[in-house]
């Protein structure tokens, strides 16, 4: 298959993925309200478009309080249609669906780099219709943007190590910086990927592109950090850490059926002389104090966090719970979890195939480490697994392609001896 045909096929698959997402977001989810983070992102976008600045959603605080609870890039993109007068949930869902189509393209390109054009198109097709990726774009969560940036970052690191150049290093740094502006834990993913890239780069060219990528990432992030320094006195990326630690380390999260979840729901309630960063620090201290006081329970809680993140803890109940709190259609989400259990072992097989081919696998395994660390340090939810869905799709496509090729060879091998004897 030639490159132009690959491009045409990839665009067609991305269009299919966009159609599937629009059908889900605008038809299946038409009468389903959005709550939680999705509602806050929707309101943040409209507030930005109205010129109110990056303040707490007015449903949280009516006092125009500056916020850094959520990094800014996802609501900034949602604000684009709002600036044009289209401020509805439908508008913001459509923008998220476009992000999903971008994910399909990025996964296809990543799959081509990992296993060739057939693998790339197969990976794109899986990403286009994989329900766990489709449902992201109807719930207005930042993972709609985070997932394509993760795929783009993995592809960029591969290309940087294949043929180092200034522009490729700049691209890696820029994508990394943008990913951090969507979810701050992307910093850890960047560290893991750049560390793995050092080992793959030719000796004598190892540090320069890595340092350049790191500098570019810092430059991309710096306006947000400087803004937060001005508002809160610290160059922080998010004030969300405090509520996360508090909610994951409380009695219900340690001793109830909600073990390992974010079971307590604090608010970043600001008072005069006590800004959002101060409240976050207090919540973090409270959560850490609880964890220290109940240290004997921590291993069990961490185990539950991991199992929940990988959908191995009471899957049926967890699926209903995640669909409810994540504003997802239950039937679609159930289908996605079932397909995840099919793709995961295929991804393991794909990893073994890459290892046998002596291809780099550290880049595709970095999201595994990220998800494990985030789950252990935070709480258990399949939402944290989104970065890992990208390598799962690519590696499972690689395994499926390998099986198909093996069957084709076996048929050819069965025919070859008969042809030889006839000759």
| Mean pLDDT on 296-310 | 97
Give how far the C-alpha of residue 58 lies from the chain's centroid of Cα atoms, to the nearest Å: 27
Average pLDDT on 96-112 reads 98
Domain contains 163? yes
- Residue 324 domain-assigned? yes
Nearest-angstrom CA–CA distance, 264 and 87: 32
Query: Could you tell me if residue 172 is inside a domain?
Result: yes
pLDDT single digits (tens) 141-200: 999 999 999 999 999 999 999 999 999 999 999 999 999 999 999 999 999 999 999 988
In tens, the pLDDT along 20-36 reads 999 999 999 988 888 88
pLDDT interval class at 62 (50, 70, 90):
low
- The mean of the pLDDT values for the chain is 91
Domains identified in the chain, total number: 1
Considering the domain boundaries, does residue 399 fall inside one? yes
Give domain status of residue 225, yes or no.
yes
The answer to whether residue 250 sits within a structural domain is no
Encoded tokens for 236: 């922080």
Q: Residue 179, SS3?
A: helix
Looking at per-residue confidence, does 336 or 4 come out higher? 336
Q: What is the mean pLDDT of residues 74-85?
A: 96
Q: What is the distance between the alpha carbons of residues 190 and 257, in angstroms, rounded to a whole number?
A: 35
How confident is the model over 194-226, as pLDDT tens digits?
Answer: 999 998 888 777 789 999 999 999 999 999 999
Provide the pLDDT confidence category of residue 234 given band limits of 50, 70 and 90: confident
Measure the CA–CA gap between 292 and 290, rounded to whole angstroms: 5
- How far apart (Å, rounded) are the C-alpha atoms in residues 98 and 103? 9
Mean pLDDT, rounded, for 110-120:
96
Residue 423 in this model has a pLDDT that exceeds 60: no
- Give the Å distances, CA to CA, from 254 to 247, 248, 264, 312: 11, 8, 11, 18
201: left (phi over 0), alpha (psi -120 to 50) or beta: beta
Can you give the pLDDT at residue 61?
Answer: 61
Residues above pLDDT 90, as percent of the chain: 77
H or E element: which one contains 397?
Answer: helix 386-422
pLDDT at 290 over 70: yes
Residue 144 lies in a domain: yes
Range with the lowest mean pLDDT among 59-73, 176-190, 283-297?
59-73
Domain that holds residue 124: 3-238+294-422
Is residue 130 within 8 Å of 390, Cβ to Cβ?
A: no
Q: Which of 2-11, 18-27, 256-265 has the lowest mean pLDDT?
A: 2-11
Give the residue, 396 or 316, on which the prediction is more confident.
396
Instruction: State residue 56's pLDDT score.
Output: 86
The Cα 364–Cα 106 span in angstroms is: 14
Question: Which residue did the predictor score with more confidence, 172 or 326?
Answer: 172
Closest CA to 3 of 117, 136, 154, 120: 117
Query: Does residue 55 fall inside a structural domain?
Result: yes
End-to-end Cα distance, the chain? 32
């Amino acid at each position: 298959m030639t490159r132009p045909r690959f491009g045409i096929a990839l665009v067609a698959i991305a269009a299919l993925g966009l159609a599937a997402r629009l059908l889900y977001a605008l038809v299946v989810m038409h009468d389903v309200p959005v709550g939680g983070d999705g509602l806050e992102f929707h309101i943040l976008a409209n507030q930005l478009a109205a010129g109110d600045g990056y303040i707490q959603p007015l449903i949280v605080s009516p006092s125009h309080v500056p916020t850094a609870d959520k990094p800014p890039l996802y609501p900034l993109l949602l604000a684009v249609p709002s600036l044009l007068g289209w401020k509805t949930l439908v508008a913001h869902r459509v923008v998220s669906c476009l992000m999903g189509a971008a994910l399909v393209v990025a996964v296809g390109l990543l799959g081509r780099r990992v296993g060739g054009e057939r693998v790339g198109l197969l990976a794109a097709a899986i990403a286009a219709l994989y329900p766990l990726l489709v449902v992201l774009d109807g719930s207005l969560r930042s993972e709609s943007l985070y997932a394509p940036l993760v795929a783009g970052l993995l592809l960029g690191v591969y290309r940087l190590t294949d043929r180092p150049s200034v522009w490729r290093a700049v691209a890696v740094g820029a994508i990394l910086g943008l990913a951090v502006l969507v979810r701050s834990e992307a910093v850890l993913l960047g560290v893991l990927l750049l560390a793995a890239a050092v080992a793959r780069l030719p000796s004598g060219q190892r540090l320069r592109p890595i340092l350049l990528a790191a500098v570019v990432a810092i430059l991309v992030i710096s306006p947000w950090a400087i803004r937060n320094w001005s508002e809160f006195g610290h160059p922080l990326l998010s004030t969300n850490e405090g509520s996360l630690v508090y909610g994951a380390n409380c009695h219900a999260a340690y001793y109830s059926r909600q073990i390992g979840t974010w079971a307590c729901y604090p608010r970043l309630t600001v008072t005069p002389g006590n800004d959002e960063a101060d409240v976050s620090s207090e919540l973090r201290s409270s959560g850490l104090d609880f964890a220290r006081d109940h240290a004997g329970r921590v291993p069990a809680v961490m185990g539950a966090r991991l199992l929940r993140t990988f959908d191995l803890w009471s899957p049926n109940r967890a699926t209903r719970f995640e669909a409810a709190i994540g504003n997802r259609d239950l039937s679609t989400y159930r289908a996605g979890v079932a397909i995840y259990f099919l793709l995961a072992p295929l991804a393991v097989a794909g990893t073994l195939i890459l290892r046998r081919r002596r291809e780099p696998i550290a880049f595709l395994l970095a999201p595994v480490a990220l998800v494990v660390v985030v789950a252990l340090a935070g709480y258990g939810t399949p939402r944290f697994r989104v970065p890992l869905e990208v390598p799962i799709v690519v590696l499972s496509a690689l395994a499926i392609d390998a099986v198909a090729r093996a069957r084709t060879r076996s048929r050819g091998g069965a025919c070859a001896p008969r042809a030889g004897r006839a000759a």
